Amino acid sequence: MTDERYDYQPGTIEPKWQERWATEGTFKTPTDRTKPKYYVLDMFPYPSGAGLHVGHPKGYVATDVVARAKRAQGCNVLRVMGWDSFGLPAERQAVKEGKHPREITTRNIATFKGQLQQLGLSYDWEREVATSDPDYYRWTQWIFLKLYKAGLAFQAEVPVNWCPALGTVLANEEVHDGVYKETGDPVEARLMKQWMFRITDYAERLLAGLDDVDWPEGIKRLQRDWIGRSEGADIRFAVAGSEATIEVFTTRPDTLFGCTYVVLAPEHALVEALTSDAQRAAVAAYVESTGKRTERDRKAQAADAPKTGVSTGFMAINPVNGEQIPIWIADYVIGSYGHGAVFACPAHDVRDHAFAKTFDLPIKEVVAGGDVTQEAYTGDGPHVSSSFLDGLEIDAAKAKITEWLTSEAKGSGVVRFALRDWLFSRQRYWGEPFPLVETEDGTTHTIPEDQLPVLLPELDAYKPTEDGRPPLARATDWVQTEVSGKPARRETNTMPQWAGSCWYYLRFTSPTRDDMAWDPEEEAYWMPVDLYVGGAEHAVLHLLYARFWHQVLYDQKLVSTPEPFKRLFNQGMVHATSYTDERERYYYPEQVEEVDGKWVTKEGALPLKTKLEKMSKSKCNVANPDDVCAKFGADALRLYELFMGPLEDGATWTTDGVSGTRRFLDRLWRVVINDETNALSAKIVSEEVDNKDLERALHLGIKVMSEAVDTLRFNVAIARFMEFVNEATKAKQVPQAWIESFLCALAPLAPHLCEELWERLGHEGGISLVPWPSYDEAVLKVETVKLVVQINGKKKGEVELAPDASQDEALAAAKALEKVAAAITGKTIRREIYVPGRLVNIVAN
RNA sequence: GCUCUCGUAGCCCAAUCGGUAGAGGCAACCGACUUAAAAUCGGUCCAGUCCGGGUUCGAGCCCCGGCGAGAGCACCA
């Protein structure tokens, strides 16, 4: 073959450099401590069987670019990857295939790792961790003991979200509309003994800590809402003809004079005691019916939704005026919030108003300003019909009534949180065993730290037992143990998947230590995480739980920073077009075609709907990074992931788009390499060249890229780089020094190609070790700028001036324009505006 | 129902403190090269910024009210 060409071949150079980085240990975490540190972290993935699609690497590529640039900028960088590898899907797959979950997990990790490695991500793979590895979960158990010994773990008989299909309970956060968010299996309420964490003890701290971190405001707000701090008062109501006292929580104690009834949640402890014989049947029926209702039935209830309830026949006594008011039961009151009971003020609460209307209960106005016969008035105004509160506005009235309640011993001011204690046990196999045993007298004992880990017993069936105990109960030999000679039973629950991800960022600082969870010196050096990148779906759960553990560890002086994640960044999702027919069946892009602007199936020409949706296997719209790498190369894929748009926005995947970034790399290659001879291109010269456009493009590119490392707005930087390559393609000569600076700035984005060209340009050491290129502001300056000249905001012409011209010069030049002179003749100049480098505006009439 | 984010060329996206809309890419089209095509190179086309008000000398950007898309929350007393 004589027409052999030497064009850009990512298929050859990418494996070459990946191998080189691995053998030379290029991305090994530095051990010297003389440089500033930078800890950049990805939210580690759950290694699912489906493998990666092109949406996953978006965040990883962004952090990789930051990591590579920070190294070049003189930082010691900690850049690591691991696996959140405990979890239900592996267990289910294990059942399906008749294999052990460990086997499934190992296989999936290998797939994920291979897919990530071909992208050339600069992880220090020697620090890889997996939460399901005994060397790792040993320390998860160790941290559990720290929390346990701090009195933060407790067992409680609690109503839980029981999922019959999975045979386990779920956390509140995992349930939505009465179904498990992940699988859609229905969830029902059940009373069970469970391990809980007193995360509520940290509610105030978790709230306050948000003020000190650089997180998107939206995420902070979600966490604040989730924690849900509210100030109010506890008020005690006596009951006529009973010794019982009903305690209620309210944020509006000022409306106490407007109270016309009291409501208990159906599950309230006093329901039995406070039901009259006449109402007993009705109450029992109501309690039964609401108990049966799963949350799925109750789902989307707005505040003014139709209300149900039943009277108990008992009367409560309003502590502030001695009035007798009826006690009702209704499911709009939630048993688990506050005291599971409220006093109702229909005039000033939407829910109470709807209830009072339904059951024809009195509505008594105590804050003037609305028409309470029509709707609840929740705005401010002077209090009326409220004795000593009359005339006061809400805040003052709240303070005064709270003071009164306190002095009369009928109540007190309190702060309450919507945050609930964290339900921490699961009835699954593939999770961390608790390091706990129970003796026959019911006492719980901890396993000594030096006996950790408590290993998962080997089982061949992973379902709960017939009588509903967790899968670990099947390991009868394992369960039976002893404590100081006395027989004892091991805890058979396992920890939820959140456990491992609550502290993996700490393990990464010294992942191979087998004598401690982390080395305090390493922790002190690397923490906090400087940049944490992941999806917004973890806004509440993972980030709140991890902060909670971290704060506990901080209190025990086990970590050096009060917050784990200094800066958080959420990358947007990658969407792709999906095709569905009338029956909502999905089709692969290969199965469809466009006819006259309409999409139909190739076979049978069924009409189709197109939609932009989150990439997902079930929607037949995933693009596989392996295919993209094979066709365009990892560097083109990396560039396109970031070129699609701002990192935080959702983006639409188009394979045509990748061809654009690939063409950019092809052009760059041809600027440097003569693709007919495989030698350096003749346009690369060692001497200086007078080409202002090219030089400016270079410096602008470096500048914008330097900024992008902090703002993560790589899409703009890539556009600048494209301009440079376009200029360089046009140029007759390109100084080698310029192209080298350019390669250094581009290397974090397209590392394989830049390494290769760097080597071809005669350098021995890798480009990954070369310091970050600088740019010169002076080069960016242009000699003249076009100033827009306006009269009364309307464009009349342009003048060309030096960018730093004075106002007088600019105005003089503007007025010298014929059109301008004509426009201002005979008029009074009211105002003259000069924005250097931009415009001159003369306001005249 | 509530909250947040986003609406700029056919499409994806730029546009500093509010300074008079275009950097880049995709697609399309034209030309060069080619027997031809692909690839490549050069070039061209294209919007007045979702709609309606307001503030301002000046609004894509700020304010108010709609419309549309996406995400989150949902009886928390």
Residue A596 has pLDDT above 80, yes or no: no
* Measured CA distances, A696 to A592, A700, A717, A775, A841 (Å): 47, 6, 14, 10, 30
Output the pLDDT for position A295.
45
Least-confidence region, from A210-224, A387-401, A731-745: A210-224
Does residue A621 or residue A324 have the better pLDDT? A324
From A338, A358, A211, A321, select the one nearest A265 (Cα to Cα): A338
Least-confidence region, from A42-46, A415-419, A745-749: A415-419
Residue A518 has pLDDT above 80, yes or no: yes
Q: What percent of chain A has pLDDT over 90?
A: 52
Does residue A622 or residue A300 have the better pLDDT? A622
Q: Look over chain A and give the mean of its residue pLDDT values, rounded to a whole number.
A: 88
Contact between the CB of A615 and strand B at under 7 Å: no
- Chain B: positions less than 7 Å from a protein CB are 1, 3-6, 11-15, 19-21, 23-27, 39-43, 57-59, 70-77
Q: Measuring from the CA of residue A173 to each C1', which nucleotide is nearest?
A: B73
Distance CA A265, CA A166 (A): 29
- Highest-scoring range by mean pLDDT, A471-480, A581-590, A691-700, A740-749: A740-749
A763 beta partners: none
Q: Measuring from the CA of residue A308 to each C1', which nucleotide is nearest?
A: B75
In this structure, how many other beta carbons lie within 10 angstroms of the beta carbon of residue A406? 13
Assigned fold of A633-779: Isoleucyl-tRNA Synthetase; Domain 1 (1.10.730)
3-class secondary-structure state, position A805: coil
Does residue A535 or residue A398 have the better pLDDT? A398
A333-360 residue pLDDT tens:
888 788 889 999 999 988 898 899 889 9
Q: Which two tokens stand for residue A344?
A: 């109702």
* Measured CA distances, A424 to A173, A194, A212, A431 (Å): 12, 7, 28, 12
Task: Write down how long chain A is.
Answer: 845
**Mean of pLDDT values over A676-702:** 90
In this structure, how many other beta carbons lie within 10 angstroms of the beta carbon of residue A620? 18
Measure A148 CA to B23 C1' (Å).
58
Distance CA A623, CA A576 (A): 9
Q: Which two tokens stand for residue A618?
A: 């079930």
Output the pLDDT for position A815.
84
A117-131 residue pLDDT tens:
999 999 999 999 999
Beta strands in A251-400 (DSSP E): 261-264, 310-317, 324-329, 341-344
What is the DSSP-derived secondary structure letter of residue A156? E
Distance CA A817, CA A844 (A): 16
* Measured CA distances, A669 to A17, A406, A725, A738 (Å): 16, 79, 10, 15
Q: Are A122 and A67 in contact (CB under 8 A)?
A: yes
A814-838 residue pLDDT tens:
888 888 888 788 888 888 888 888 8
Output the pLDDT for position A4.
61
For chain A residues 234-263, those near strand B by a CB cutoff of 7 A are 248-252
Output the pLDDT for position A300.
45
Output the pLDDT for position A282.
92
Residue A328 has pLDDT above 70, yes or no: yes
Distance CA A33, CA A454 (A): 36
For chain A residues 285-314, those near strand B by a CB cutoff of 7 A are 298, 300-303, 305, 307
For chain A residues 159-178, those near strand B by a CB cutoff of 7 A are 176
Residue A607 has pLDDT above 50, yes or no: yes
Pick the CATH number of A229-417 from 3.40.50.261, 3.90.740.10, 3.30.70.890, 3.40.309.10: 3.90.740.10
Residue A687 has pLDDT above 80, yes or no: yes
A543-561 residue pLDDT tens:
999 999 999 999 999 999 9
A236-262 residue pLDDT tens:
999 998 899 999 999 899 999 999 999
Q: Which CATH architecture has domain A782-844?
A: Roll (3.10)
CA atoms within 13 A on the CB side of A249: 17
For residue A296, what pLDDT band results from cuts at 50, 70 and 90? very low
**Mean of pLDDT values over A277-284:** 92
For residue A2, what pLDDT band results from cuts at 50, 70 and 90? very low
From A717, A816, A826, A834, select the one nearest A66 (Cα to Cα): A717
Q: Rg for chain A (alpha carbons), in Å?
A: 34
Distance CA A492, CA A730 (A): 71
Measure A529 CA to B16 C1' (Å).
30
The full set of domain ranges for chain A reads 151-224+423-490, 229-417, 633-779, 782-844
Distance CA A682, CA A826 (A): 63
Distance CA A76, CA A379 (A): 55
Q: Measuring from the CA of residue A253 to each C1', which nucleotide is nearest?
A: B77
Give, in degrees to the nearest 5, the angle at Cα A391 between A388 and A397: 60
Q: Is the ipTM of this complex over 0.90?
A: yes
Measure A838 CA to B17 C1' (Å).
13
Distance CA A669, CA A667 (A): 5
The sign one gets for the Cα dihedral A398, A400, A404, A409 is positive
For residue A304, what pLDDT band results from cuts at 50, 70 and 90? low
Contact between the CB of A727 and strand B at under 7 Å: no
| Residue A793 dihedral angles phi and psi, to the nearest 5° | 80, 0
Residue A94 has pLDDT above 60, yes or no: yes
Output the pLDDT for position A113.
95
Pinpoint the alpha helices (H) of A748-816. 751-760, 777-780, 807-815
Q: Measuring from the CA of residue A719 to each C1', which nucleotide is nearest?
A: B24
Give, in degrees to the nearest 5, the angle at Cα A195 between A190 and A197: 115
From A155, A163, A197, select the one nearest A179 (Cα to Cα): A163
A640-680 residue pLDDT tens:
999 988 888 877 788 788 889 999 999 999 999 988 888 99
Q: Are A459 and A475 in contact (CB under 8 A)?
A: yes
For residue A484, what pLDDT band results from cuts at 50, 70 and 90? confident
Q: What percent of chain A has pLDDT over 70?
A: 95
What is the DSSP-derived secondary structure letter of residue A426? B
Output the pLDDT for position A1.
35
Cα A168 from chain centroid?
25
Distance CA A282, CA A243 (A): 23
Measure A838 CA to B57 C1' (Å).
15
Output the pLDDT for position A294.
47
Q: Measuring from the CA of residue A233 to each C1', which nucleotide is nearest?
A: B77
Output the pLDDT for position A465.
76
Residue A603 has pLDDT above 80, yes or no: no
- Highest-scoring range by mean pLDDT, A683-692, A783-792, A801-810: A683-692
A33-67: string of b/e by CB count within 10 Å (b at 16+)? eeeebbbbbbbbbbbebebbbbbbbbbbbbbbbbb
A735 beta partners: A685
CA atoms within 13 A on the CB side of A37: 20
